[in-house]
A = this chain, B = another copy of it.
Amino acid sequence: MNFASDNGAGVAPEIMRAIVDAAKVNTPAYGADDWTARAQASLSEIFERHVAAFLLSTGTAANALALGAVTRGWNGIFCHEEAHIQDDECGAPELFAAGAKLVGMPGEAGKITPQVLRETLARYPAGLAKSVQPGALSLSQASEAGTVYTPREILALSDIAHSSSCAVHMDGARFANALAAIGCSPAELTWRAGIDVLSLGATKDGALACEAVIFFDPVEGADFEFQRKRGGHTLSKGRFLGAQMEAWLNNGLWLDLARRANAAAQRLSRGLEACADVRLIWPTQVNEVFVALPSALLPPLRVAGARFYAWSSRAIAPGNEPRPGEAFIRLVCSFETSEAEIDQFLAIVGANCRQKQPAI
């Protein structure tokens, strides 16, 4: 019953097999290998245009380096106030973006609205020397609240950002989950909706440690090779990144794994909703479930070995905040989460909660 993080999961067998196979040959170092070349070709194919794609091993690096590539030190980088880049990367974006300033924006359920974006950008007028200059908008897909932006929502935001000379970055640590949930094409969810650069995460979705930074206009990535190297993020045995990415994309594995994680979260979410005392804080759209439940439920869950994090957020709709006596927790499912784990969890909850009365 490990619902702490999708980072706790192992590695999809198809991906591990690719790693083991890639170890068998002596190849050129630093990404000049066939696996990497094939992975890059797959990405161009999947995104339906020639992209510049760079592989690396952490999502924090992917985000921070991508943002550093499209901004300068006197820029502002606009994001949700609880975005991963703002709250969970210990200042990595500031390091790689030469001290650029992250500007957080409020927004229910982890999502930025056009109105708030417009109002915030208005506080940073172009050309006013005392103000950091708008440089990038970063959207998290899926968001930190486990919610997704539709292509139409992304387009509305990226239009505003582009009008203010901002590049648009997508933190896609859970991009596959979002894509599987929405059901559109990768292109529709990214460059067709105005995304300039994507951090595409495979690690949470079955890889060992593999992320890609994808520039939809390859010219934008012209210096990225140097930035990645300077960040210490160019793996010497680079083929192991290529092998992971190739296997992850192959035959739609990435979406299969994401669908499994999403489905597990749906099962968990529906089961929890059946309890009168459990409230969803945000809708379950990908592989994360955010619920408020009676605090008294925590000890039996912990005793039974369930692992999950207590949560907190300023992005909750008024009236829906956790109440006294309630615990607010996050439950994350991975491609490995089994129905048995979920049902065990639900059984403990069910045994300690009233069930909802069916509407008559």
Q: What are 25 A-B interface contacts by the 8 Å CB criterion?
A: A2-B26, A5-B236, A8-B28, A9-B26, A10-B26, A16-B23, A19-B208, A58-B232, A58-B235, A60-B232, A63-B232, A73-B94, A74-B91, A74-B227, A74-B229, A74-B230, A95-B99, A98-B98, A127-B225, A133-B226, A204-B236, A209-B235, A209-B237, A232-B233, A233-B233
Knowing A58-B236, A209-B240, the reply to whether A230 touches B73 (Cβ < 8 A) is: yes
Question: A29-70: which residues lie under 8 A (CB-CB) from chain B?
Answer: 29-30, 56-65
Binds B, one of A82-90, A144-152, A186-194, A249-257: A82-90
Q: Is A129 an interface residue (CB 8 A)?
A: yes
Q: 1/0 per position for A188-203, CB-CB distance to B under 8 A?
A: 0000000000000001
A61→B8 CA distance, assembly (Å): 24
Contact of A295 with B by CB under 8 A: no
**A102 in contact (CB, < 8 A):** yes
List 20 additional contacts besides A30-B130, A90-B229, A204-B236; criterion CB under 8 Å.
A2-B26, A4-B28, A8-B27, A10-B24, A30-B129, A60-B229, A60-B232, A61-B231, A63-B232, A65-B232, A74-B229, A90-B129, A90-B132, A91-B100, A95-B95, A95-B230, A98-B98, A101-B102, A129-B229, A209-B240
A233 near B61 (CB under 8 angstroms)? yes
How would you classify the secondary structure of chain A's contact residues: helix, strand, loop or mixed? loop
Using CB atoms, name the residue of chain B closest to A33.
Answer: B8
CB-nearest residue of chain B relative to A4? B28
Q: Which residues of A contact B (CB under 8 A)?
A: 2, 4-5, 7-11, 16, 19-20, 22-30, 56-65, 72-75, 87-92, 94-96, 98-102, 123, 127, 129-133, 203-204, 208-209, 223, 225-237, 240, 334, 336
Q: Report the separation of the CA atoms of residues A131 and B82 in the bound assembly, to the nearest whole angstrom.
A: 12
**A340 CB to nearest B CB, Å:** 13
Q: Closest Cβ of chain B: how far from A169's Cβ, in Å?
A: 15
Q: Which of A9, A20, A23, A130 has the most CB of B within 10 A?
A: A130
